[in-house]
Structure 1
């Protein structure tokens, strides 16, 4: 059964979601250190888990309360379609590995997904205080400023990016990433390979970079960025050129003027 909700109701909800995400961001910022924590796989895992646990409870209750009847997607590394209805797809520490290693590229994200379509998202960067938001049909914003994707039309002048979705990807995925970086180094200007996906996608939405692709279906890293980019005027597809969905095996978000050329460069990579 399809769930419908008027745009104005989603827009009203945005304030409550932003409050919850910013509150969680304070807790995550308080745990941040400018030096790396954890020198072994076990230590790194313990630190990332502690970050998640410190933040999750600050998000779950207020978000579920804000949308009665909504459900919580438990596994932040899961992919594929969700059952029908409303779901919160949340990453309490998007870029957790960066946080643990004393780097600044991390965020707190919350996205409301309705019948497998992202309809509202908040991405908060606690170190800068910046908040990226989008509501389906209402545009994308950085704080109160509307976002617009790049106007570039030449892939040769494009700054693009990719990265792995999670540790322990299979060897075929790693080889595809390597081949795709080579393809875009040949066809584009500069390629950034980094994590997490969301912090690359906010740059696409803001017109700072021109395209991002990923060989993965991990929902939590893509849903927020997909909505931000599309609401900022970008094109979001899979690498076959079909509209991206939660069931797509791969992902490309780009400025409209270079999307076709990026797709041509990347789609042969199998």
Structure 2
């Protein structure tokens, strides 16, 4: 039986890629996961196109839940059948660490508010965490049809094409990005985000600010962006991209350059050539 996450004190880490013998079962599991995520994405695509009006917070939450429910009605039974003993993280906004064993970390509508506003920046994601490490991840973009995948030790790909991070070595020539982790963030985090954007505007070539985080991390993994940072955050919006960036040759840390876990106060994903410069900028 699956179980719902409550509390724990175990860390989740994303290790640097090393050549390993990837099991056939994990490779097959990735393919089956991708099929389930694409099916959920197709269902959400059918709901996309018009701006969904809402006048109250309750109406907004209801519209968000309707999208989540549409995808979860496909994802939960499909993924549970693939790994019946795996736990299931109920809330995509949850942060912190996971217990040992296998867990599905799923965001059924990453960038859900964009979907409601008829904006194209949204996706469906599913990540399997095993013994506190992400093993595989799938991010599907229903409007373009692209599917990004990563398998620990086997690299990151988009529709079968290998991904590699940027080779840029100068932050002053870099395009970087950040994202708002969640609504109603506390004032201290909001002010830290604002000061970090100012610092990056001074040091980087171009700074992009938008949600969701996962789409920026896809761009880092593909070499289209040179760095992404965020303060606070949830497992579901950082774990998929963290594995993709790592498997594409990038560096993951907290904002101070220390090893990142979902308990960290900050997150940084960057091409190796600009990671140290980005840490220095964020330290100001």
Q: Please indicate the TM-score interval, normalised by the length of the shorter structure.
A: over 0.9
Contact 1:151 1:255 in 2 (8 A): yes
What is the CA–CA distance in structure 1 between the aligned matches of 2:101 and 2:208, rounded to whole Å?
Answer: 36
| Equivalence for 2:61 | 45
Give the whole-Å Cα distance in 2 for the aligned partners of 1:87 and 1:150: 31
Q: CA deviation at 1:6?
A: 6.7
**Counterpart in 1 of 2:158?**
142
1:34 positional shift? 4.0
Residue by residue, what CA displacement relative to the aligned partner does 1:169-203 show, whole Å, maximum 9, x if unpaired? 00111101100000000010111111000011000
- Are the structure 2 counterparts of residues 217 and 116 from structure 1 closer, same or farther at C-alpha, using a change threshold of 3 Å? farther
Query: What is the deviation of 1:31?
Result: 0.7
Contact 1:149/1:255 (8 A) holds in 2 = yes
1:26 to 31, 37, 42: 42
8 Å Cα contact 1:116/1:246 also seen in 2: no
Conserved in 2, the CA contact under 8 Å of 1:25 and 1:124? yes
Paired with 2:162 and 2:54, the residues of 1 have a C-alpha distance of 39
Asked whether the equivalents of residues 38 and 100 of structure 1 are also in contact (C-alpha less than 8 Å), the reply is: no
Q: Determine the structure 2 residue equivalent to 1:153.
A: 169
User: Does the residue aligned with 2:147 lie in a helix, a strand or coil?
Assistant: strand
The 3-state SS of whatever aligns with 2:188 is: helix
Q: Which runs of 4+ in 1 moved over 6 A?
A: none
Rounded Cα–Cα distance in structure 1 between residues aligned with 2:51 and 2:79: 32
Per-residue CA deviation, residues 118-167 of structure 1 (Å, 9 max, x unaligned), is 11000000011000000000000011100000010000011001111111
Distance in 2 separating the partners of 1:248 and 1:10: 28
Equivalenced residue count is 265
1:1-270 equivalences under 5 Å are 7-8=22-23, 9-268=25-284
8 Å Cα contact 1:84/1:114 also seen in 2:
yes
Considering Cα pairs closer than 8 Å and 6+ residues apart, tell me whether 1 or 2 has the greater RCO: 2
Q: CA RMSD in A?
A: 1.5
Conserved? CA contact 1:215–1:249, under 8 Å? yes
Return the alpha-carbon distance in structure 2 between the equivalents of residues 212 and 10 of structure 1: 28
SS of match in other structure, 2:71: helix
SS of corresponding position for 2:42: helix
Q: Is the 8 A contact 1:217 1:247 kept in 2?
A: no
Alignment partner of 1:7: what SS?
A: coil
Q: Is the 8 A contact 1:111 1:223 kept in 2?
A: yes
Unaligned runs of 5+ in 2: 1-9, 11-19
CA distance in 2, matches of 1:249, 1:65: 34
